[in-house]
Amino acid sequence: MTVDRLLPTPEAHDLLDLTTEIATRELADKVDDFEARGEFPRDILRTLGRSGLLGLPYPEADGGAAQPYEVYVQVLEILAGTWLGIAEAVSVHTLSCFPVASYGTEQQRAKLPDMLGGELLGAYALSEPQGGSDAAALATRAVADGDDYVVTGTKAWITHAGRADFYNIFCRTGGPGARGISCLLADADTAGLQPQAPEKLMGLRSSAPAQIVLDNARIPRDRLVGTENEGFGIAMKALDAGRLGIAACAVGLAQAAVDYATAYAREREQFGKPIGSFQGIGFMLADMATQVSAARALLLNAARLKDAGRPFSIEAAKAKLFATDAAMRVTTDAVQVLGGAGYVADHPVERWFREAKVLQIVEGTNQIQRLVIARSMTGS
């Protein structure tokens, strides 16, 4: 099923056509093997970077493609419809480039072309074992020592841990709370920066996160991104945009599930008729398609607000909340449409069902999104 898209430029149409071609030719026949083995597709991400897909929303002067977020999120959607692990990796990498691109020194920004070109893969180290949703309570501490910061603590659920070339380390350089947090840019070979074994996940096995232990890791003080004790604001601004990326991943995953379930319902016969002709199945498919369209509309509205330079964080929270909840409902219903066939790995809906769950958790749980939205309404 082809999505009827309203795009701002002919160039955007060409970009989405390129993305579809890459997804079809380079990703579709590899996803099952990589997921089964739990292998991270680093070379594929490098290929995507050389194709220009890892720096889409950043300026051309920095090595990006200067594409509006409206277009970037639809690229993610197409990738997610074929391989969620790849789309999530692109989203996380794009998020990881934000601190340097927006707040970095000239020396730090000199690496942007390699970051945005995919030669250097990024990771975003904010969460901790005891501080997921309450990010301002993070305990990892950096103490100034001569020309370095000495960093001690543990980061958790870090996508690309052990595979990344650079890490945004959010750590405490001041007092308690949000005002005592800084962002440090650390190379992967930093002494004392120790990636742990990947987590064993329900889904997204080709992109399994891991903990990062920082054991007196020495990070040069000139790797401070922005100003000291102002890192929490950087983190939150990055996550606003990151939520659009996860919403896009959810829309793409859900669209794939709708398309697959619809095709199956046309082919599968029971009682002498295709099952899609029965109202019980037909209404289910109609609800699935409507939820995906509504999620896409919320996503594009938030992205267009961002492109226009208008406040978008609340709309991003709404888009992330609705799109990921919709992806969970739609993939659940896709399994149901296929019946017993949907519960075996011969059909991708089984994998999509498992993958959809994590989207309700990453980049701020959906309970946190509801809290953000409610506070904006009540002024609390």
What's the pLDDT at 40?
95
Whole-prediction pTM: 0.96
Please compute the mean of the pLDDT values over residues 315-327 and round it to a whole number. 98
Determine the Cα–Cα distance for residues 134 and 189; give it in Å rounded to an integer: 29
**Nearest 5 degrees, angle CA 117-CA 123-CA 129?**
170
Determine the Cα–Cα distance for residues 113 and 222; give it in Å rounded to an integer: 19
What's the pLDDT at 7?
95
Please compute the mean of the pLDDT values over residues 47-59 and round it to a whole number. 95
What's the pLDDT at 132?
78
309: left (phi > 0), else alpha (psi -120 to 50), else beta?
left
- Does the pLDDT value for residue 380 go beyond 90? no
3-state secondary structure of 291: helix
Give, rounded to a whole angstrom, the gap between the first and last alpha carbons of the chain: 44
Please compute the mean of the pLDDT values over residues 277-306 and round it to a whole number. 98
Catalytically active residues are 363
What's the pLDDT at 158?
97
- Does the pLDDT value for residue 104 go beyond 80? yes
Q: pLDDT tens across 239-276, in order?
A: 999 999 999 999 999 999 999 999 999 999 999 999 99
Give me the amino acid identity at 177: G
The answer to whether the CB of 75 falls within 8 A of the CB of 124 is no
By the 10 Å C-beta count (0-12 exposed, 13-18 middle, 19+ buried), 38 is classed as middle
Residue 180 phi, psi dihedral angles, 5° rounding: -110, 20
**Nearest 5 degrees, angle CA 305-CA 307-CA 308?**
65
Q: Beta-strand (E) ranges in the chain? A: 122-125, 141-145, 148-158, 166-172, 181-187, 193-195, 210-220, 224-225, 269-270, 273-274
What's the pLDDT at 264?
98
Q: Residue 34: how many CA atoms within 13 Å on its side-chain side?
A: 21
Q: Which helix (H) or strand (E) holds 369?
A: helix 366-378
Residue 280's alpha-carbon distances to 264, 277, 283, 334, in angstroms, are: 15, 9, 6, 13
The answer to whether the CB of 224 falls within 8 A of the CB of 184 is yes
Q: pLDDT tens across 31-42, in order?
A: 999 999 999 999
- Does the pLDDT value for residue 184 go beyond 80? yes
Nearest to 284 by CA among 250, 332, 236: 332
Nearest to 138 by CA among 111, 116, 158, 156: 156
- Does the pLDDT value for residue 2 go beyond 80? no
- Does the pLDDT value for residue 1 go beyond 80? no
Residue 335's alpha-carbon distances to 84, 149, 338, 348, in angstroms, are: 17, 51, 5, 9
Please compute the mean of the pLDDT values over residues 166-195 and round it to a whole number. 97
SS (H, E, C) 185-216: EEECCCCCEEECCCCCCCCCHHHCCEEEEEEE
- Does the pLDDT value for residue 179 go beyond 90? yes
How many of the other CB atoms lie within 10 Å of CB of 236?
15
